[in-house]
Copies of this chain bind each other. A is one copy, B any other.
């Protein structure tokens, strides 16, 4: 399951994608409209900014906004950034790989199955952007 943080991140990002090119949006506005705890959201947006997905402006008329076009922001990337691995096991993760203790990957049925699951998920997630999430 995606963490609450990830779920909030997606709600905030789709909200900002919807308002792309309308200038900065207040944290408080996003929090209110999307029912996200304000202070928690603050941290999430800051993290997304540090990762280069968002940009912010301080002072009056400030707020957060997408740094790139919604069609350029990949869903899989956002998940990896906020939530971590997409794979169900460390030993089948592409970006967070860790070797399995006491388990030969060449002869591990679980390993093989989880690679299938990973690829099936990535097939979908890698080919979707924030733009696709808007209806």
Chain A positions within 8 Å of B, measured between CB atoms, are 1-2, 7, 10-11, 14, 33-35, 75, 84-85, 87-90, 101-103, 107-110, 113, 116-117, 120-121, 123-125, 128, 132-135
Contacts and interface: CB of A to CB of B under 8 A. Distances in A.
Contact of A1 (B14, B75, B90, B102): B90
B135 A124 contact: no
Contact of A102 (B34, B89, B109, B128): B34
A117 B125 CA distance: 8
Number of copies: 2
Contacts of A110: 10, 14, 133
A14 B104 CA distance: 14
Contact of A124 (B34, B113, B124): B113
Contacts of A7: 89
